[in-house]
Amino acid sequence: MSNTLAINGGTPAVPPGTVKPWPPVDEVDRQMVMASLEGGVHTFGPNCTALEAEFAAWNGNRYAVTTNSGTAALHLCLAACDCGAGDQVIVPAYSWSSSATCILHSNSVPVFVDIDFDTMNLDVTKLEAAITPKTKAIIVVHLHGLPMEMDKVMAIAARHGVAVIEDACQAHGARSQGKKVGTMGHCGAFSCNQNKLHCSGEGGIFVTDDEERLRKARQLWSFGETATPAESRDYHAYALGWMYRNNDLTAAFGRAQLMKLDSYLEKIKQNAQVFRQALEGTPHLIQPEEPEGCESNWYNYTLRFDMEALGHAEDAAAFRDRLGAAMRAEGVDTGVWQSFILPAMTVFQAMNGYGQGCPWDCPYQEPVDYSLEQYPEAQKHCDSHTGLTFPLRPPNGPEVAEMTAAGIRKVMENVGKVP
């Protein structure tokens, strides 16, 4: 392979069209979706109830509720844990916006905790100091498919009597100490968006083992009613509710994809191992790690650049963008996953979610501080990362992983030639 970077006119390391799209769609998907289409029930239907039972069995939960998004599933978690006005909920300073905006949806206030740079997850050593008498719950995010060390989190939560919500939206099948994510906290949320490893186009799933939490979540999920669409409803709103239900067509696709999820996970793990090995020794590249007892599903293989060694600590984000552009020119399907740490987002800095300062100015609330210097590791990660999803997923095999790694190595071994 020529050392001339593709961005400078060289030949790309990964030829156009090499990386195949996600998810693979086969005859099983077509048959199940068409059967739903022709079945005549296109709202919440039989595929929805079947998906709930099948996902609960697959993940090891007593109960599951299918929703129209992972964000909706997260909101159900807040309701299931009785989070409301005057409450505070702890969440990592780096994640997708929904991990924190779901707290606002419950009229509660987020309290951010910095991340551990090595794992990219919430820094457990800083968790206990963030708990106050106002803390109602902790949201742990299994970011990019790497699970938190849940035994440590649950021990801290038990000491303080607070609930634990697992944001497992990216983490289907990931395990902490041998247990699947979504089975260790008091409740959890998964996403079935097209990018996710369990894909149904859009959608989400709420899980819990607690019948009372299930009841509270279902009430929020369907107009504040006390009966589900599968039961005899009186159409009376007993509490504040939303319309977060899934539809039968989406659930049919989700059921078909769930049948293949275990095989997907195994192939992605194998591709990730090939990719890691092919990248070993690449200069100035920080590979993701799995702490002992934590098994990632490799939803997003996230790399960081050693900006201090590269001499770009002061302009890390800009230089990262230059490296990313050079890699994409090589045919490497990579990019920045989240460009802002959560407390830097306007909705939190302005503290004016509902107008008139609510929920931060609620008379039952205590002041919180979102000064950005509190989150140096989150900012460092944010400015120095790039991530890959589709190159490591079926139908792409180890040969695609090796070509992708070659493109990354080519750029990093010719950093001085990046325009």
* Domain total in the chain: 1
Query: Is 32 part of a structural domain of the chain?
Result: yes
Report the C-alpha gap between 89 and 149 in whole angstroms.
19
135 in a domain, yes or no? yes
Q: Which amino acid is at 235?
A: Y
Q: Within a 10 A sphere around the Cβ of 28, how many other Cβ atoms?
A: 13
| Token couple for 130 | 């963030």
Is 105 inside a domain boundary? yes
Q: 38 to each of 32, 42, 46, 202, how far by Cα in Å?
A: 10, 9, 13, 20
| pLDDT, position 50 | 98
Determine, yes or no, domain membership for 224: yes
Contacts of 94 (CB under 8 A, 6+ apart): 115, 120, 143, 338, 341, 342, 375, 378, 381, 382
The CATH number of the domain where 110 resides is what? Answer: 3.40.640.10
Per-residue pLDDT tens for 317-347?
Answer: 999 999 999 999 999 999 999 999 999 999 9
Helical residues (DSSP H) of 64-210, grouped into ranges: 70-80, 98-105, 150-160
In a domain, 401, yes or no: no
The DSSP letter of residue 90 is E
Structural domain boundaries, residue 31 = 27-257
Site of tokens 């740490």 = 341
CB 17 within 8 A of CB 331: no
Contact (Cβ atoms closer than 8 angstroms) between residue 193 and residue 71: no
Domain-located, residue 358 = no
In-domain check, residue 139: yes
**357 lies in some domain:** no
Q: Calculate helix-pair angle for 46-59, 248-279, nearest 10 degrees.
A: 30
- Which pTM value belongs to this model? 0.97
Specify the pLDDT at position 270: 98
Q: Measured between alpha carbons, how far is 220 from 203 in angstroms, rounded to an integer?
A: 16
Q: Quick one: pLDDT at residue 1? A: 58
Q: CA angle 32-38-43, nearest 5°?
A: 85
pLDDT given at position 230: 84
pLDDT value, residue 228 = 87
pLDDT per residue rounded down to tens, the chain (419 residues): 578 999 999 999 999 999 999 999 999 999 999 999 999 999 999 999 999 999 999 999 999 999 999 999 999 999 999 999 999 999 999 999 999 999 999 999 999 999 999 999 999 999 999 999 999 999 999 999 999 999 999 999 999 999 999 999 999 999 999 999 999 999 999 999 999 999 999 999 999 999 999 999 999 999 999 888 888 899 998 888 999 999 999 999 999 999 999 999 999 999 999 999 999 999 999 999 999 999 999 999 999 999 999 999 999 999 999 999 999 999 999 999 999 999 999 999 999 999 999 999 999 999 999 999 999 999 999 999 999 999 999 999 999 999 999 999 999 999 999 99
Beta strand 109-113 with 88-92: parallel, antiparallel or unpaired? parallel
Please check whether residue 372 is in contact with residue 340, taking contact to mean a CB–CB distance below 8 angstroms. Answer: no
